[in-house]
Amino acid sequence: MLSSKPIDATKLKFRYSGAAEHYEYDRVTEKRAAEQTRDPDTGMPIWKVRCVAIYQNAGEHGEITVSVPHPIPPTAEFDSFISFTNPTVKDWSMNGNQGQTWHAEAFDTEAATTAPSTTRTKKAEPATAAA
């Protein structure tokens, strides 16, 4: 069995790309479940939240999907900063392939003040001579 490792998310930023329902995959039948997967502890539906994880200290980023229980589809403005409560990761290897599965206890949007400004200032128009 794979063990979950906690992620120190204090050095990561996440930008929202979208969310979709999660349907558990059964390796024996090689099919997805007919109903959306639910968290065994809370009974809430599990969602796959797509985002870009940014590690600014190393100048790295990558697209990831985080499984998170949430009562309704997690939404945010596209490319806005979001956060996850207690994210964990499981490394996996199967049939020569490797990857990571990300999970979190909760999803939240972040206040706009935590995001670096991406607003571009308009160039000043050249002054026209008075006629």
Q: Tokens standing for 108?
A: 């939240």
Given this model, what pLDDT does residue 2 score?
A: 59
pLDDT > 70: percent of the chain: 82
What tens digit of pLDDT does each residue of 44-103 get?
999 999 999 999 888 889 999 999 999 999 999 999 999 999 999 998 887 888 888 999
| Interatomic CA distance for residues 84 and 9, integer angstroms | 8
Q: Which tokens in the block code for residue 73?
A: 């589809």
Name the least confident of 3-12, 14-23, 49-58: 3-12
Residue 104 pLDDT greater than 70, yes or no: yes
Q: What is the widest separation between alpha-carbon atoms in the chain?
A: 82
The rounded distance, in Å, linking the Cα atoms of 58 and 55 is: 6
Residue 1 confidence class, pLDDT cut points 50, 70, 90: very low
Tokens encoding 51? 């985002």
Q: What residue ranges do the domains of the chain occupy? A: 13-113
Confidence category of residue 30, pLDDT binned at 50, 70, 90 = confident
User: How distant, in Å, are the alpha carbons of 33, 89, 103, 106 from that of 45?
Assistant: 13, 19, 13, 12
To the nearest whole percent, how much of the chain has pLDDT over 90?
A: 58
The reported pLDDT for the residue numbered 15 is 96
For the chain, first and last CA: distance in Å?
81
Q: Do residues 63 and 51 make contact, with C-beta atoms less than 8 angstroms apart?
A: yes
Vertex 5: Cα angle to 18 and 112 (nearest 5):
40
| Res 96: pLDDT | 87
